[in-house]
Amino acid sequence: MSELYLHNTLTRQKEKFEPIDRSNVRMYVCGPTVYDFAHLGNARPVVVFDVLFRLLQRLYGQDHVTYVRNITDIDDKIIARSKESGESIADLTKRTAQAFHEDMGALNALPPTIEPRATEYIDAMIAMIATLVEKGHAYAADGHVLFNVPSMKDYGQLSRLPHKELVAGARVDIAPYKKDAADFVLWKPSTPDQPGWDSPWGRGRPGWHIECSAMGEKNLGETFDIHGGGLDLIFPHHENEIAQSRCAHGGAPLARYWVHNGFLTVNADKMSKSLGNFFTVRDLLVHAPGEALRLALLMGHYRQPLDFSLESLQNAKAKLDRWYNALYEADKITSETKTVLSNDECKRALCDDLNTPSAIAYIDQLVNQLNAAFLFEEPENPAFKIGCPNNYPANPANIATFKAKILSAGMALGLLQHPPEAWRKWQPAGQSGPTDAEIEQQIEARLAARKAKDYAESDRIRDALAAQGVILEDGPGGTTWRRS
């Protein structure tokens, strides 16, 4: 079995991954705050950790991985948006969570094993806060409960920030009732018009960090294997999750491996709502299929910044077109699909800290080989002997092998999940071009024209379709078509 290596933010090193329990590998990734559509930057962690989820399932078995990704459905941004728009919080969070599922589904992200919603875990949050108060790590002040940072001797190990910056980070909500400037909120009071729950400290609502600590504990236990999210979550969110959970659990580590994806950028700036330089997944899906978005996100290594542009999206689409066209041709030669191969270059690349660019290069190479293989179907073809190394494929069985390797690597990356035929016919939503049925009809008309030897008419039909982005391909089996 290949060994998995992951970069651990906690140690700043690439480390061999050793699960606590091989029969139940446990991963928690911070999910969306549901008040608006997800932008492509938000989709980056979803896609990256989906690749890791698929890899863990492949290494440890489908039923031996528990992947938890929460939904934050109580947050000040949600309250503010609801107030602004007049849409109730319940409707807003329900609608946005549903849109998130649709968008991430279009990117071929598998649903996590468990998707806890913060509002369903308020009791667990209150219990954890009470424990922290009891143990002297938290205090109530002015309707709030705060975590007392100096009470934890080794606070700050994940972010390794100097005290000055810890304070600057916590200063976002500076308040007179804080004992230490770095203290952060566990519980805050709600006004009558704000959502709230009864607690030992009055009616209020949880702070953001405690939500993940409680949902992690309830679904994965005190210590689990992997905790993930975007780079911006290291401080304060993950640092504070660690503080809360470890202090509540007698010092037990929260997670053994901390994995963080880099930013998706636009002209080198982080894609974000606040900068306004974002593309929602929803909008992009009008211009490109979800797999093209997904591939665009996987073209760079997950820890590096990745600059996004419509051009990079076009490149991803063109690459997939090439891959699907090769599979389409292979399907004509063999309908066989071999079983998924267990050990290949793709798996090796992904086991090396999720090296997706290398896995993509491997698929490219397989597609090159497959394309070359079509030329050499006959072993007695002299070109076979001249142009090919000894192990060169030359027959349908070999083509089937390439196809299986490509599909297996595609599966590992969550790509090539559509029938090639359907991919070739994809068109942007709202496009005014001819429908599939209209195209089929024109192909019939062209055939009739050719039979009647009216070549001018048959050419006219072909050119008219080409002008509308529909390419006809004549072959021994008849005419097929694809959208360009």
**Which spans of this chain sit near ligand AMP (rule: CB under 6 A)?**
30, 32-33, 41-42, 44-45, 229-230, 232-233, 261, 263-264, 270-272
Contact pattern for Zn ion over residues 163 through 202, marking x by CB under 5 A: ----------------------------------------
Q: Which of 158, 212, 366, 439 binds Zn ion (CB under 5 A)?
A: 212
User: CB 358 → ligand AMP: shortest distance, Å?
Assistant: 21
CA distances from 370 to 102, 404, 436, 478 (A): 34, 11, 29, 23
User: CB 321 → ligand AMP: shortest distance, Å?
Assistant: 26
Q: Which does 230 bind (CB under 5 to 8 A by kind): ligand AMP, Zn ion, none?
A: ligand AMP
Quick one: tokens of 352? 């090396």
Please calculate the CA angle 95-99-100 and round it to the nearest 5 degrees.
115
Residue 74 lies near Zn ion (rule: CB under 5 A): no
Residues 281-340 that bind Zn ion (CB under 5 A): none
Q: Which is nearer to ligand AMP, 33 or 458 (CB)?
A: 33
Q: Which is nearer to ligand AMP, 272 or 468 (CB)?
A: 272
Q: Which does 41 bind (CB under 5 to 8 A by kind): ligand AMP, Zn ion, none?
A: ligand AMP
The DSSP bridge partners found for residue 87 are none
Q: Which does 19 bind (CB under 5 to 8 A by kind): Zn ion, ligand AMP, none?
A: none
Length of the chain: 484
Say if CB 207 and CB 184 are below 8 A apart: yes
Query: Burial, 425: exposed, middle or buried (Cβ in 10 Å; 0-12, 13-18, 19+)?
Result: middle
Cis amide bond preceding 419, omega within 30: no
Q: How far is CA 398 from the centre of its chain?
A: 33
User: CB 103 → Zn ion: shortest distance, Å?
Assistant: 20
Please calculate the CA angle 260-53-404 and round it to the nearest 5 degrees.
125
Residue 220 lies near Zn ion (rule: CB under 5 A): no
Rounded-to-10 torsion of CA 360, 362, 365, 366: -100
Q: Which is nearer to ligand AMP, 77 or 322 (CB)?
A: 77
> What stretches of 141-191 show up as alpha helix (H) in DSSP?
163-170
Distance between CA atoms of residues 301 and 314, nearest Å:
19
Q: Which does 264 bind (CB under 5 to 8 A by kind): Zn ion, ligand AMP, none?
A: ligand AMP
Quick one: tokens of 177? 């009732």
User: CB 100 → ligand AMP: shortest distance, Å?
Assistant: 10
Q: Which is nearer to Zn ion, 30 or 330 (CB)?
A: 30
Say if CB 262 and CB 305 are below 8 A apart: yes
For residue 200, give every residue at least 6 positions away whose Cβ sits within 8 Å of its Cβ, in sequence order, or none. 126, 130
* 259-284 residues labelled b (16+ CB within 10 A) or e (exposed): bbbbbbbbeeebbbeeeebbbbbeeb
Q: Which is nearer to ligand AMP, 106 or 399 (CB)?
A: 106
Nearest to 425 by CA among 385, 361, 359, 482: 482
Quick one: tokens of 311? 């051009």
Total number of residues that touch Zn ion (CB under 5 A): 2
Q: Which does 42 bind (CB under 5 to 8 A by kind): Zn ion, ligand AMP, none?
A: ligand AMP
Tell me the DSSP string of 410-446: HHHHT---S-HHHHHT---TT--S--HHHHHHHHHHH
Q: Which does 212 bind (CB under 5 to 8 A by kind): ligand AMP, Zn ion, none?
A: Zn ion
Residue nearest to ligand AMP (CB): 230
Q: Which is nearer to ligand AMP, 132 or 242 (CB)?
A: 242
Q: Which does 76 bind (CB under 5 to 8 A by kind): ligand AMP, Zn ion, none?
A: none
Residue 214 lies near Zn ion (rule: CB under 5 A): no
User: CB 399 → Zn ion: shortest distance, Å?
Assistant: 47
Distance between CA atoms of residues 38 and 290, nearest Å:
14
Residues 25-54 that bind Zn ion (CB under 5 A): 30
Query: Burial, 384: exposed, middle or buried (Cβ in 10 Å; 0-12, 13-18, 19+)?
Result: middle
Q: Which does 232 bind (CB under 5 to 8 A by kind): Zn ion, ligand AMP, none?
A: ligand AMP
Q: Which is nearer to ligand AMP, 228 or 434 (CB)?
A: 228
Nearest to 219 by CA among 117, 133, 130: 117
User: CB 165 → Zn ion: shortest distance, Å?
Assistant: 20
Q: Which is nearer to ligand AMP, 59 or 97 (CB)?
A: 97
User: CB 33 → ligand AMP: shortest distance, Å?
Assistant: 5
User: CB 164 → ligand AMP: shortest distance, Å?
Assistant: 24
The binding site for Zn ion (CB under 5 A) comprises 30, 212
